[in-house]
């Protein structure tokens, strides 16, 4: 049984318009990233529900069974209709925005990733080569930190380091990296999360002013 998760609106701030090929590529990257991140959340939640070590821990035993993680071949195919990503609102201007409706957890990971990368890119403009190399290491550590909670849960359940790394790369770090191109080429900047109530009220205000 799937855990009840909250819906939210992800607002990715745009800096310019783009060609049809660019826009299609950007939307595909967002959808690809969202579906893979949510599949990772489902994998962690399902593994935790089936192999929780809590009873053994209460008896003072050590949970030593090594679990195998079965990664989905097509993450998008396991999403239910209510979990699918939807484009909610688009404003093509400078600045503009792209608003998506979906599940909160993958949105929060995307928000943190884009915001942190945006801030680091601004810092990078004022650093010399040695400082930039150090910054790249800091960025990589922060990327890994986005999955700290998920990794901790899987480790506590007895999953091997190699399987956790494979899951994080396939369902997390790899898909997130697909957003880099659109940030580096100036199509988007950072992102923020809006509750459904706030997003609805802002949409209504926009409609009234048009």
The arithmetic mean of pLDDT across residues 193-204, rounded, is 68
The arithmetic mean of pLDDT across residues 203-208, rounded, is 50
Q: In this structure, what is the dihedral angle of CA atoms 173, 174, 175, 179, given to the nearest 10 degrees?
A: 90
The arithmetic mean of pLDDT across residues 4-31, rounded, is 93
Q: What's the rounded Cα separation, in Å, for the pair 31 and 10?
A: 12
* pTM reported for the whole predicted model: 0.78
What pLDDT is attached to residue 61? Answer: 46
Q: Of 53 and 10, which is predicted with more confidence?
A: 10
């Amino acid at each position: 049984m799937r855990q009840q998760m909250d819906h939210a609106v992800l607002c990715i701030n745009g800096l310019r318009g783009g060609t049809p090929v660019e826009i299609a590529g950007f939307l595909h990257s967002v959808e690809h990233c969202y579906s893979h991140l949510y599949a990772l959340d489902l994998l962690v939640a399902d593994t935790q529900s089936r192999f929780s070590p809590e009873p053994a821990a209460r008896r003072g035993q050590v949970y030593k069974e090594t679990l195998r993680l079965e990664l989905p071949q097509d993450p998008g195919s396991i999403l239910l209709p209510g979990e699918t990503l939807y484009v909610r609102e688009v404003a093509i201007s400078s600045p503009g925005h792209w608003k998506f409706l979906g599940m909160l957890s993958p949105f929060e990971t995307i928000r943190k990733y884009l915001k942190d990368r945006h801030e680091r890119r601004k810092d990078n403009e004022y650093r010399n080569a040695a400082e930039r190399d150090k910054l790249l290491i800091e960025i990589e550590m922060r990327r890994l930190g986005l999955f700290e909670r998920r990794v901790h849960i899987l480790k506590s359940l007895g999953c091997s380091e190699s399987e956790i790394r494979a899951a994080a790369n396939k369902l997390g770090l790899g898909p997130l990296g697909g957003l880099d191109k659109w940030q580096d080429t100036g199509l988007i900047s950072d992102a923020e999360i809006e509750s459904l109530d706030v997003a609805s009220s802002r949409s209504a205000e926009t409609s009234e002013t048009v």
